[in-house]
């Protein structure tokens, strides 16, 4: 490609949430198929050759615990920094972006990923990084399987059924030219966006989409933990 | 309610698919947590007091097998008819609607459900039937958890991020005044719609939405089978 971006690629794993839906337990440390949830997520980044380093964004209160976790689970060779996040996901990503641009890491490409998506694979990450090297912005997503409805009012009533064709559900990783995403965050300021891709879209830069996997879902509820555990055990058992 | 609809309620369980994504195996008969997938689906309708009878729509080729399945798994007291479906889901629902209106069944309310959603519960069905008695049209759905993206082109590029607020993913059951849904199907003719709710929306009749459950997903892939099995075993083990 004419526009190929070279330079290092850094994973920014955002694990600074409050896990309100899981009764205050810090979800990323919850046990899942024999290890903490976040260990599955970080293992995928560790095993991904397209990733040169990892920045973990932790909540202020769990920062110490995160350092210990990274060391205990032997991610410290690839995790270049553990940084405190902000009050919102957007602020947390911004903190990760800054760390990924520091002299010690100096990455040209970032792969922003939700810590609570433990079923991501090295392949999904690598494809995002490769696409971001080409296009500057790559979004992992899956085509909507169910009909999407626009719903309004109380009681809620359907106000529209957009054509299912062309509707995708965004996941992470969302991979970007680091400078581009930084610019998008700066321009957005404190205006909340639904995700990083939306900030880059707002700049007018095209965001290219590639297909992830249904299993790469975000673990939010106890039911999700059951699902994730079943899928991880199956994956582990089959050696895939 | 002023407009309360009385009369019998009939489940229309559509199990006439081809299961192309599962390598030609007839998905509804696939083994799931110790019994055929469809047995879980029908058990929920059997246990639901709001349902007076069930029509099963089967593919032409599996009609005989479906009769035997219904008898073998002791659904024959509540299953009032097994009818052959059509070439499309819409035609299959239409066949079920006709059967649900026959003299022997004569239902005023229908609860149209995908046979391949085995994790539906009696409660989810009952809430849909009650709401359809009030409003004529009730759609089971869940709020979108991920950002929905409008995607176009090749390579695919994001062309829009609709506000996530108010976006729901449609499931089944979709419950209706039988006459209303019949009219909607007649007016649609062979014009394909994404779901039954969309046909009723096209008539200008309001479709009320109620919240289902994430677990009430449609089993499509082998990965879905793993997820469904894990959830059913958990539900069974906890006695819920």
Domain layout of chain A by residue ranges: 8-238
Closest-CA residue to A97 (of A126, A55, A147, A155): A55
The two tokens of residue A143 are: 């085509």
Please count the CA atoms within 13 angstroms of the CA of A228 that sit on its side-chain side: 28
Length of chain B counted residue by residue: 240
Quote the CA–CA distance of A145 and B151 in Å, as a whole number.
14
Looking at residue B232, its pLDDT comes to 95
A positions 126-185 inside 8 Å of B (CB): 135, 139, 141, 144-152, 155-162, 164, 166-171
Mean pLDDT of the A13-35 span: 79
> What residues in B contact A154, CB-CB < 8 Å?
none
Looking at residue B3, its pLDDT comes to 61
Query: A238 pLDDT band (50/70/90 cuts)?
Result: low
Return the bridge partners of A36, or none: A31
- Supply the ipTM of this predicted assembly: 0.91
A203 near B CB under 8 A: no
Least confident of A51-55, A116-120, A131-135, A220-224: A220-224
Q: What's phi and psi for A70, nearest 5 deg?
A: -60, -40
pTM to 2 decimal places = 0.92
| Cross-chain CB nearest to B161 (options A146, A147, A198) | A198
Distance from CA of A178 to the nearest CA of B (A): 19
Length of chain A counted residue by residue: 240
Quote the CA–CA distance of B228 and B234 in Å, as a whole number.
10
Quote the CA–CA distance of A185 and A190 in Å, as a whole number.
9
Quote the CA–CA distance of A195 and A198 in Å, as a whole number.
5
pLDDT in tens, A145-198: 999 999 999 999 999 988 878 999 999 999 999 999 999 999 998 888 889 999
Judged by CB atoms closer than 8 Å, whether chains meet at A209 and B156 is answered as yes
Q: How many CB atoms lie within 10 A of CB B68?
A: 11
Looking at residue A187, its pLDDT comes to 94
Closest-CA residue to A216 (of A140, A132, A164): A140
* Count of pairs with CB atoms under 8 A, one residue in A, one in B: 145
Looking at residue B4, its pLDDT comes to 85
Judged by CB atoms closer than 8 Å, whether chains meet at B157 and A207 is answered as yes
Please answer whether residues A145 and A229 qualify as being in contact, where contact means their C-beta atoms are separated by less than 8 angstroms: no
Quote the CA–CA distance of A160 and B81 in Å, as a whole number.
34
Quote the CA–CA distance of A146 and A153 in Å, as a whole number.
21
A positions 217-236 inside 8 Å of B (CB): 218, 220-221, 223-224, 226-227, 229-231, 234
Which residues make Cβ contacts (< 8 Å) with residue B94, sequence separation at least 6?
A: B86, B185
Judged by CB atoms closer than 8 Å, whether chains meet at A147 and B169 is answered as yes
Looking at residue A172, its pLDDT comes to 98
| Cross-chain CB nearest to B230 (options A159, A201, A226) | A226
Please count the CA atoms within 13 angstroms of the CA of A182 that sit on its side-chain side: 15
Judged by CB atoms closer than 8 Å, whether chains meet at A149 and B170 is answered as yes
In CATH terms, A8-238 corresponds, of 2.60.40.1180, 3.40.50.300, 3.90.550.10, 2.40.50.140, to 3.90.550.10
Looking at residue B236, its pLDDT comes to 84
Please answer whether residues A175 and A50 qualify as being in contact, where contact means their C-beta atoms are separated by less than 8 angstroms: no
B23 near A CB under 8 A: no
Query: A20 pLDDT band (50/70/90 cuts)?
Result: low
Query: A18 pLDDT band (50/70/90 cuts)?
Result: low
Judged by CB atoms closer than 8 Å, whether chains meet at A158 and B230 is answered as no
Q: Which of A90, A128, A145, A161 would best serve as a mutation to test chain B binding (most B beta carbons within 10 A)? A: A161
Task: Tell me what percent of the residues of chain B surpass a pLDDT of 70.
Answer: 94
The two tokens of residue A109 are: 């490409």
Quote the CA–CA distance of B99 and A112 in Å, as a whole number.
53
User: What angle in degrees, to the nearest 10, is found between the helix axes of B37-47 and B63-72?
Assistant: 60
Longest dimension (CA), chain A: 54
Indicate if the pLDDT at residue A21 is higher than 90: no
> What residues in B contact A229, CB-CB < 8 Å?
230
| Cross-chain CB nearest to A161 (options B151, B201, B210) | B201
Q: Which of B163, B170, B174, B200 would best serve as a mutation to test chain A binding (most A beta carbons within 10 A)? A: B170
Question: What is the gyration radius of the CA atoms in chain B, in angstroms?
Answer: 18
> What residues in B contact A214, CB-CB < 8 Å?
221, 223-224
């Amino acid at each position: 490609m004419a526009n190929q971006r070279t330079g290092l690629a850094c994973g920014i794993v955002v694990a600074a949430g409050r896990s309100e839906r899981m009764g205050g337990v810090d979800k990323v440390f919850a046990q899942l198929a024999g290890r903490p949830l976040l260990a599955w997520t970080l293992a995928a980044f560790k095993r991904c050759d397209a990733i040169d380093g990892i920045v973990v964004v932790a909540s202020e209160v769990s920062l110490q615990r995160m350092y210990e976790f990274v060391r205990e689970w032997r991610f410290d060779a690839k995790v270049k920094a553990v940084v405190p996040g902000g009050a919102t996901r957007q602020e947390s990503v911004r903190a990760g972006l800054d760390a990924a641009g520091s002299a010690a890491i100096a990455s040209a490409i970032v792969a922003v990923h939700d810590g609570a998506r433990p079923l991501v694979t090295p392949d999904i990450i690598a494809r995002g990084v490769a696409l971001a090297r080409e296009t500057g912005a790559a979004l992992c997503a899956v085509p909507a399987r169910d009909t999407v409805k626009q719903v309004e009012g109380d009681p809620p009533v359907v106000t529209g059924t957009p054509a299912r064709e062309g509707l995708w559900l965004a996941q992470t990783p969302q991979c970007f030219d680091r400078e581009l995403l930084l610019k998008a965050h700066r321009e957005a300021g404190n205006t909340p966006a639904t995700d990083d891709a939306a900030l880059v879209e707002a700049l007018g830069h095209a965001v290219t989409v590639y297909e992830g996997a249904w299993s790469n879902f975000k673990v939010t509820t106890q039911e999700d933990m059951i699902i994730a555990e079943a899928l991880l055990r199956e994956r582990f058992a089959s050696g895939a």
